[in-house]
Structure formats: structure tokens, C-alpha cells
Structure 1
């Protein structure tokens, strides 16, 4: 019995020693940039079938059995791939190994003399139109596409009526500084426009939709580079460039009258289509109703009978007005 106990103790001691010898040790370290020794985050460190990723401080850690030579593979975006062979794991303590990565030649920093960035200035913004108006050598007012988009105006005439000193009449002709429309001159993209009316010198500004305009320039004093055939104002209409792609605009509008909408009125009960301005037959004349001349020749009794059959409902009911 004692011999069996001794044998069991010896086997247990040998098993424990073998287990202690076979347990893993830690390989740890940091991955650094070759240029400035800064830690690199997100680097993949792979040994056999184990793979870890470095943290924000460039640290990595792997558990490996000692007594074997390992090959470490290190990869990261923007850096050269690196392999480290003959890495021996210590059996009595952790193994520390720092890894340095370098960048490819094509991605290393290069000295350049300068960078030239070219772009076209946006002339349709509110800031650009204010600057154009301020730097102009004449008295003028400029309206850009941003200001036009914020208004409900549909054509050029409706846009121009918002300019100080400009009035619109007949929905298309303009008066500048109180002078008649024949004293004005219109230009489209730098080209002088002829009169749209055969009997007088004027221009109909409702021809151009508001959504095709880039800028409107209203000059109120003479300009040396343009003709002096006007005394009221020179209106320059500048349209947008040809778009790069097709576009389709849809505009919806809703209006209301605060004086009448939601108020109570006395109304006669009509047909079901009255809100569309369509009679559903409730007001139609009775059958056999004579014409005006024939009706005047009828007797008073016949006229009264026709009147009774004309409209059955005479009641007045209170109604809340909900129309826009």
C-alpha cells in the first residue's frame, strides 16, 4: 500500500514538472516608426497561427511555448512588410522585442517647391454680389442666384421689382428712377436686346424665367464701355452656364387669407362640388323652363309655379370658411 502511494506521488511530481516546462511564456514589445520612433497603431503581428494588433501605444503581446525558434511577420498599411526570424522565447521570463518599421520610398516625404491651386470664383453668392457692387465704379445694384432662390419670383420682371428705384407695371415692363420704360436698355450676356414691342422702345422682362438667371446688374449711371442710349437704367441679364447634367425643377406654393380663412360666414347650402366651383345639378332650372322672352308672356300663376320648382332649399346656415 505504501509503495503504491509513493509511486503515485512520483508520477504526479513528474507530470507537474512536465506541465511547468510546457507552459507558454509571453512575447511582448512595441512597434515603432523608423523616422521618429513614434508608436504605430493597428499593426498586425503574426506568429504561426496567432495574430494580434497593436494598440494606440504600439504595444503587442503573444503567448508562445518556449524552446522553439519563431518567425515573426509584421504588416501595416503605409509601411514595408517585415519578417524577423530566429526569435527565441525564454522559458523563465517574458521576452521583450521592439520592432521598427520603415515606409516605402514612394510614400516617404519629398520636398516640393510649391502647389498651385486653380479654381473659378463663384459670382452668384450673396457675398460675391455685394463685393461686385462695392467695387463697381458706377451706381449699380447686383442680384445673385442665391437671392433669387430665396424669393418666390418666377421671372426676371418679378425679380427686378424688388430693386430700390425700380417699378414694374403690366407685369413685365419696368420703370427706373421714375423714367418711362422707353428710357431703359436691356442686355443679355453682354449683347444689347432689341425692343419686344413693335410700336415703342421697351422690353418685356417676363420672357426670362428666374431659374435660368445667374446675376442681374441694374446700372443707374452711364458706363463708358456701353452705349448711352438709355437714361433710366441699363439692365444686364446674365444667365447660368450650360449645366453638366440635366435638371428638373418643381415648385409648389400655398397661400391663404388671414382675414377670411377660419372665419364663420352665413351661406346657403350648395352642392357637393361647390368648393371646386362646379355645380352638381342642385341649381339647375326645372324641366320646361321657357326662354326669357317667353317667360315674360306667362301669367303670374305660371311664373309662381316655375319659381317654386327652381330652388327647394332657401335656408341660411353658418359655415366656417376654410378655403385658401
Structure 2
């Protein structure tokens, strides 16, 4: 018991001396330009050996009042390095501390004599993610909805027609024509990078959207209200397709799609027009060209009239096969190839390209085709046309969408090329009843072929005046 009391006595006696054995460096940093404290300055403490070499011990920063402190330091020689961005660094050496010393230091940092070089940061706004589309909607002066490439990829849509139907208030008819707010195709229009492009079908106002792949666009914007920036030839809405200039990394994709309908495909009763050998590419090679010149005077085939003999020659020049044919219908087919890349040039210039080639074949077959027409005649309606039978339709599309973009510090120029070729062959076989001007009641066949083509080359330029 006596031994423990003696131990406690020695501990209590030596404790003040142990505490006082630790030294401290307290300091304050002053801003020499504004004669005020300098917060958040960097302070590094080094221990200095006898040969003058320095060993990094610890680092700190000044507080809001410009103060810093290093405590619990053993006796020795120290060096302090104080720095701040835009100011000259100050180094204080040979700070000698003895046991229990408190060394007060006051340092004034002066602005560096050499000014920092100007740093210019330039960037471009992303337009293919959801945040950018929401920003466009927020700042738009019109009622606008949109889809970003990020949202389209998450949904897995292969073409724009599939993607745009996800926009509120938008529906797709026949898998390709857009209806906005329930209004028909004639009340809407299509823009490509803000520039209007005509529709492929002259009876429609918008371009079919299933020919555009989704991996070449940044976003889709659907405007649902009028604005002075746009022509007043729509009342439903505008679908604006914002194409990407090019891909920053090489992009090459090849897609294959097959569509099957058990009522339409692999059906041996399918009726079709044999047509020309180039029908599979969406155009006729001249096989259906009318052999007689326009405006020719064809005489009536009357007996005793020598001129009537030319009617026989005219008749023989027309295709003798006017019947429809039968074959096993094939499924729908879609092929697509997309490529895009960019290249860095000198003086911070850049050039890039994007290209997409697509082929589409759509086969439709109806074995219960019905066409009925009524006309108003007193005292009631009269059925003037009543046709029933089988109908086969073969649609072929070839589309190419390409573009070249060039960018530099002074601006950006880009040109796009859009080419769409469409051929639509229809064959009908059945019973026909026509009570019009030329009455007919019996078996009949109809063959028709419609060929359409569109070429559009929009060009845009954006220049910066620095």
C-alpha cells in the first residue's frame, strides 16, 4: 500500500513537466494585397536535420481568421512553407523550439509578380440524354415533349416510329405515320434538324418515320403548339428529328429484322403482280411503261376503215399478261447498316460523318378483301361498287441518310443527304360489281404499281464571332 502511494506521488509530480515538454507553433497569414486575413492558405511543416535536409511532417490550412497551429512538437529545428494560389510562396526556416516553447509566427503573402495565363474552357451541350431534353422543354416557348437517345436505348426501339409513340399525345398509324393530339397526318409535319422535309406520299403531309434508325439521332422533339418561328401550315404538331453530327468513336452496326403474321405470310394463296426484275429495289425498270405516246389519236375499230388496222398494232404492243399470279408469301424483312466516325485535324478542327443504309420489305395479304361504295341518289343511297376477293400488297423501301460535319473554333457546318425510294405493288383477284357508267358483274383482276422517290439535301451553318 505504501509503495502505490509513492508511485502516485511521482506521477503527479512529473505530469506537469511532461506536458510542458511539448512545443507549439502558432501563426497567422495576412493577405498583403488587401491587408486582411487569408483563409485556406496551405501550410506545410518540415523538420530540419543537422545537415539541412527537410522531412515533411504534416500539413494544414488556415482557418477563416487566417490562423494555423502545430502542437505537441518535440524540441528541434523546423521549417514552414506557406503558399496560396496567385501569391508568392513564403518559406520560414530555422525555427528552433526548446522544450515547452510556443513560437508565434505572422506571415504576409504578396500577390505573385507574374499573372496567371488565361484559361479558356469551351464545351458543347449534350442533347442526347434525358437531362438535356428536360432542359429544352423547360426553356421552350411552346408546348413541347421529347425523347432522348438515352431513353430510346433503354426502351430498345429500333426505329423512330416505334420510339415517338412513347411521347404523350402522339400515336402512330400504319406503323409509320405520326398523329399528334388525335389529329390526322395532314395536320402534322416533319422536320430534320429544324428544316422541313416533304413527305414521301403526296397524299400525306408527314414523312414516314420507320425508315430512320434510332442510333443516328440525339433527340426527338414534338411541338404541340404554334410559334412565330415555324410556318403556320400545321395545327396538330411538329416532329423535329435532331440528328447527331457524328460519333466520337467508330460506330458500325448491322441489323436484321424479320416479321411474321400467320394470316399473311407463308400463304400459298397470295396474289401478286410479277412486275419487273427491279421491283425488289422499289422501282420499275420500264417494264410497265405505256408503249404508246401521250396524246395519240386511237381510231375506233370500225369495219371498212383502213385506219382501224392500227388498233391491232397498238393492242399487240401492250403487255399480254394482265393476270395476277400466285405464290407463297414471304415474311417481312428489314436490313440496316449504320456507320459513323470523326477525325481530329490541326488547329482544333474536327470532321466527321454518319451514314445509314436501310432496306425494308413489307408483305400484306387479305383473303377477305371487300370494297364497297355508295352514292346518294334519290330517293335513297345506291350501292354502285361492291368488290370482294383476295388482295396482296408488296411494299419495298430503300433509304439512305448520310451527313458530313466540320467543326472549328469559328463555327460548325454540316450537310445531310436523304434519299428514299419506295415501290408499292398491289394485286386484287375476285368478284366485281360495278353499277356505274359502265356496268359490270363478274370475275375481275386489278394490278397497280405506285413508285415514289424523295431526295433532300439540307445544309446548315453555325458561325461564332470571337
Q: TM-score, normalised by structure 2?
A: 0.35
Structure (1/2) with the larger helix percentage: 1
Larger radius of gyration: 1
* Structure holding more strand per residue: 2
